[in-house]
């Protein structure tokens, strides 16, 4: 690769990144730029996105949940509001942590093959401002991410590449991060290890800012159309800094969650609603991306009304909410 080629690629990425990271830009206005970012990383990555036969190749089941394959992780880049919210939110968290005397240290857990949340910010922050520890459980995905970062000339932005399970990895005491970012989740916090990862890392570095700052699952009733607001009957479960610290010392195979009594009459089956506060007022609402789609209750119980639903969050290799129906 020639120097002019790399300079042109860096300039292209910086233009895209500045737009997405601009706090004045509403998420819905960034669909074009997130599309450009997706095309950019797919063009420069060594990972082939052609065909569907490799969709699940490389996925694994960890003690803390499902680690999706490199291709599945790469497909997340095709959700524009999701990409915009996480990149803009991480940029805001970095700016808040900038002091000028040392680089902001960001621990990125579950980078996938594109390191999609880190790469654009490397284009607009210098290595004197920002350093990443890139953590990924799949060696192939980490290799793709590393090759992409190095090819584009951003190796100086990376303090370390680590192949490890983020739900069990120990942070060196002299390398505590200022920001912890992880986007290893599924709808209603099921299947994937987001909760386990955030618990493990944040208790080791409780001074760090979390991105996302909070993920809450509510019980409610979706509207009959996507533009009709969902009825909200209460929050079931939330993972944030306060809840993680409150869970310290919590043993067993489950975390506590709420119980909610249903209305006497049910027009339709209630659903789980996932809301994500990425940072500050940067929020992913109902229907913004696949993470925010209403989800059936676990077990799809037959409900008539007035039942009390007692929830818990189950840990382990198949994490997610469980529901006991009390009539």
Distance CA 176, CA 208 (A): 8
Q: What's residue 301's pLDDT?
A: 94
- pLDDT tens, position by position, 202-225: 999 999 999 999 999 999 998 878
- Which of helix, strand or coil describes residue 181? strand
- pLDDT tens, position by position, 276-324: 999 999 999 999 999 999 999 999 999 999 999 999 999 999 999 999 9
Distance set, CA 296 to CA 2, 258, 327 (Å): 53, 17, 19
All structural domains of the chain: 3-326 (3.40.50.150)
DSSP label of 114: T
Q: What's residue 51's pLDDT?
A: 63
- pTM value? 0.96
Q: What's residue 52's pLDDT?
A: 57
pLDDT of 2 > 70? The answer is no
DSSP 255-268: EEEEEEEPPS--SS
Give the pair of three-digit tokens for residue 317: 């290799």
- pLDDT tens, position by position, 107-121: 999 999 999 999 999
Q: Smallest Cα–Cα separation from 115: which of 59, 62, 162?
A: 162
Q: What's residue 3's pLDDT?
A: 74
DSSP 232-292: EEEEEEEEEHHHHHHTTT--SSEEEEEEEEPPS--SS--EEEEEEEEETTEEE-TTSSGGG
């Amino acid at each position: 690769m020639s120097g002019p080629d790399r300079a042109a690629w860096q300039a292209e990425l910086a233009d895209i990144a500045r737009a997405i990271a601009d706090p004045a830009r509403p998420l819905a206005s960034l669909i074009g730029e997130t599309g450009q970012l997706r095309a950019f990383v797919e063009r420069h990555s060594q990972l082939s996105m052609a065909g569907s036969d490799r969709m699940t190749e490389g996925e694994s089941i960890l003690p803390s949940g499902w680690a999706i394959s490199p291709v599945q992780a790469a497909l997340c880049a095709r959700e524009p509001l999701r990409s915009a919210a996480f990149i803009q939110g991480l940029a805001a968290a970095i700016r808040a942590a900038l002091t000028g005397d040392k680089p902001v240290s960001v621990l990125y857990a579950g980078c996938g093959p594109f390191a999609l949340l880190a790469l654009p910010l490397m284009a607009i922050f210098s290595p004197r401002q920002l350093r990443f520890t890139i953590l990924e459980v799949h060696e192939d995905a980490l290799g793709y991410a590393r090759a992409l970062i190095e090819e584009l000339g951003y190796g100086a932005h990376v303090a370390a590449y680590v192949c490890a399970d983020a739900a069990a990895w120990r942070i060196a005491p002299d390398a505590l991060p200022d920001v912890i970012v992880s986007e290893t989740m599924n709808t209603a916090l099921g299947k994937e290890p987001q909760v386990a990862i955030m618990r493990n890392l944040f208790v080791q570095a409780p001074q760090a800012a979390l991105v996302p700052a909070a993920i809450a699952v509510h019980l409610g009733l979706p509207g009959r159309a996507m533009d009709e607001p969902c009825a909200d009957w209460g929050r079931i479960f939330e993972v944030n800094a306060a809840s993680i610290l409150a869970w310290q010392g919590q043993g067993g195979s489950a975390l506590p969650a709420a119980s909610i009594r249903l209305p006497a009459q049910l027009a339709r089956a209630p659903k789980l609603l996932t809301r994500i506060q990425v940072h500050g007022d940067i929020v992913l609402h109902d229907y913004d991306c696949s993470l925010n789609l209403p989800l059936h209750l676990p077990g799809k119980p037959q409900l008539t009304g007035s039942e009390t639903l007692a929830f818990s969050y189950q840990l382990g290799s198949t994490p997610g909410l469980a529901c006991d129906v009390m009539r």
